Amino acid sequence: MPELRAVLVTPMTSPPAGEVVSAADIMHEVMDWRDHIHSDPEILSGKPVIKGSRLSVDFLLELLANGWSEDQLFDSYPNLTKDSLRAVFAFAAESTRDERAFELRR
């Protein structure tokens, strides 16, 4: 059986043309969102936020869902970094990876 190969693509970057990496390599590239996101009961009632800010994960995701570009985010929030925005995606992915059932409402 051939080795499973995948192209590494993050929310922030595309791989160089033709670059292929193994699934194991992808796992080494997974960001630890805990370096960029935390929860403090004294900040926004404990919502997960970008460290050193009051920018909550759900706020940033909502802006992106409403069509904001990364450039608009970085222009509007100069302390936001590419890594902290990437951490938002990593946090969201891990949060929805649980084996719980999600009720989808209209």
Percent helix, strand, coil in the chain, to 5, is 40, 10, 50
Say yes or no to pLDDT of 103 above 80: no
User: What is the domain class of 33-96 according to CATH?
Assistant: mainly alpha
| Confidence band, pLDDT 50/70/90 cuts, at residue 23 | low
3-state secondary structure (DSSP) of residue 17: coil
Q: What global pTM score does this model have? A: 0.67
Domain boundaries, the chain: 1-30, 33-96
The DSSP element (H or E) to which 82 belongs, if any, is helix 82-96
Give the model confidence (pLDDT) of 34-88 as tens digits: 999 999 999 999 999 999 999 999 999 999 999 999 999 999 999 999 999 999 9
